[in-house]
């Protein structure tokens, strides 16, 4: 076997592993698979395997992600990993340890084509899709890191770099692996989308009832067109209808993400329009409010916390459930919308003008 024939460790399917273990006793397949997925072990550490087999697997099944940097914040409770992929592009993963849970935020693409102006990943543009194995491996590597602090990963959110619905086949294969093999329940897996309506509809028809988060940020088309360009293609009415359908079929709460941008989407009229949209879903959608995090290409500041709280109170008065999310890892650029994998983000003069003109 040459290096070029090798598939990476978490790309390999169970059937593929069966072929690789051809000639070995049948129970080896279960042993190796459990070693990789339940114990999150390196082949060399699966000590119930013969030594020669461990060495062969370690060589034939290399990892896909090369760790370039690991940064730590929040007294060790937030860890950001910077990985280099085959071909040289880079992505990031964030591990967040809370008192009652440990969440891994994974990337689904290197870069993103959705071009939301306020998001560092969007500012950097699209490079390529991640493979199933590259997504699964992010969870495994972060879970190994968590295990070093005696913690178990309980939640996975597709809220890192990229638009999961633009890479849904691989994202879904990874989700099935995270659910069926790593063993997380579907209710602890969240797929976040900028609002790709056909993707939401496809996901509705897929078997696992994972949580759906929609990055809404604006509740009327005029404002949303300017913040989230894909809204021109999939306007709010269609988006909310797809969410209502998802909720009805899956019986899972749908949440709306709302990055609060000072003077842009934090006015009383925004709260009213948003509450109205939430009421169109039954049960009502849950709103997550996050003050906008600073990014190089978007000069507007986030809403001050006192005003964020006021906005939340107003939403609640209007019958919508809302939570103000605590920001993790802003000092290491690990917070929502800050993942750029070390890339310098430069904007073309026209783009900069269109942003500052608003
Ligand atoms: N593409 C998917 C997955 C990314 S999730 C999606 O759009 O849902 C990352 C979340 O952070 C999204 O809700 C995104 O809109 C939000 N975000 C992007 N830039 C941000 C910023 N500067 N401050 C706060 N949130 C931001």
Low pLDDT (below 70) residues in the chain: 1-5, 344-358
Q: 193 CA distance to ligand 1 centroid (A)? A: 9
> From ligand 1's centre to the CA of 162, what distance in Å?
9
Mutate to test the pocket of ligand 1, among 93, 337, 339, 341 (most ligand atoms within 8 A of CB): 337
Question: 264 C-alpha vs ligand 1 centroid, how far in Å?
Answer: 16
* CA gap 13, 132 in Å, rounded: 10
Length of the chain: 358
Centre a 10 Å sphere on the Cβ of residue 331 and count the other Cβ atoms it contains: 12
Tell me the pLDDT tens digit for each residue of 69-104.
Answer: 999 999 999 999 999 999 999 999 999 999 999 999
293 in contact with ligand 1, CB cutoff 6 A = yes
The DSSP symbol for 341 reads T
Residue 317 designated active-site: no
Contact assessment for residue 94 and residue 340, using Cβ atoms and an 8 Å cutoff: no
What pLDDT is recorded for position 313?
A: 98
Q: Is 234 in the pocket of ligand 1 (CB under 6 A)?
A: no
CB atoms within 10 A of CB 344: 7
In the residue annotation, 92 being an active-site residue is answered as yes
Rounded CA separation 253/160 (Å): 21
Catalytic residue among 11, 84, 92, 257: 92
DSSP tag of 295: B
5-23: per-residue pLDDT in tens?
679 999 999 999 999 999 9
Q: Is 320 exposed, middle or buried (0-12, 13-18, 19+ CB in 10 A)?
A: buried
Distance CA 140, CA 137 (A): 5
Q: How many CB atoms lie within 10 A of CB 80?
A: 24
Q: Go through the domains of the chain in sequence order and give each one's CATH number.
A: 3-60 (1.10.150.530), 66-356 (3.20.20.70)
Report the relative pairing of strands 189-193 and 155-158 from DSSP bridges.
Answer: parallel
Question: Which pLDDT score, from 0 to 100, does residue 293 have?
Answer: 94
């Amino acid at each position: 076997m040459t290096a070029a024939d090798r598939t990476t460790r978490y790309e390999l399917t169970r059937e593929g592993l069966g072929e690789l273990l051809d000639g070995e006793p049948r129970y080896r397949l279960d042993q190796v698979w459990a070693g990789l997925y339940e114990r999150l072990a390196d082949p060399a550490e699966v000590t119930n395997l013969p030594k020669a087999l461990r060495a062969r697997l370690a060589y034939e099944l290399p990892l896909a992600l090369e760790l370039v940097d690991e940064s730590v914040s929040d007294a060790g409770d937030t860890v950001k990993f910077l990985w280099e992929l085959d071909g040289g592009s880079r992505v990031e993963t964030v591990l967040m340890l809370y008192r009652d849970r440990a969440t891994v935020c994974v990337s689904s693409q290197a870069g993103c084509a959705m071009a939301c102006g306020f998001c560092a990943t969007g500012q950097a543009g699209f490079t390529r899709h991640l493979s199933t194995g590259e997504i699964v491996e992010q969870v495994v590597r972060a879970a190994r890191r968590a295990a070093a602090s005696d913690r178990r990963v309980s939640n996975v959110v597709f809220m890192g770099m990229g638009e999961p619905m633009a890479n849904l086949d691989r994202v879904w294969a990874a989700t099935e692996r995270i659910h069926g093999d790593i063993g997380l329940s579907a209710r602890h897996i969240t797929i976040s989308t900028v609002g790709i309506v056909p993707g939401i509809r496809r996901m509705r028809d897929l078997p696992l009832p994972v949580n759906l988060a929609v990055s809404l940020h604006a509740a009327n088309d005029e404002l949303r067109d300017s913040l989230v360009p894909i809204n021109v293609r999939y306007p709010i009415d269609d988006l909310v209808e797809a969410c209502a359908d998802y909720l009805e079929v899956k019986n899972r709460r749908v949440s709306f993400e709302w990055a609060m941008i000072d003077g842009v989407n934090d006015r009383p009229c925004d709260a009213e329009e948003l509450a109205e949209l939430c009421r169109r879903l039954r049960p009502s959608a849950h709103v997550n409010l996050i003050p906008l995090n600073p990014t190089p290409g978007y000069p507007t500041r986030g809403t001050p916390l006192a005003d964020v709280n006021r906005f939340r109170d107003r939403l609640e008065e209007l019958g919508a459930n809302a939570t103000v999310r605590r920001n993790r890892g802003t000092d290491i650029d690990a917070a929502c919308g800050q993942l750029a994998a070390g890339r310098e983000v430069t904007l073309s003069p026209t783009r900069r003008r269109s942003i500052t003109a608003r």
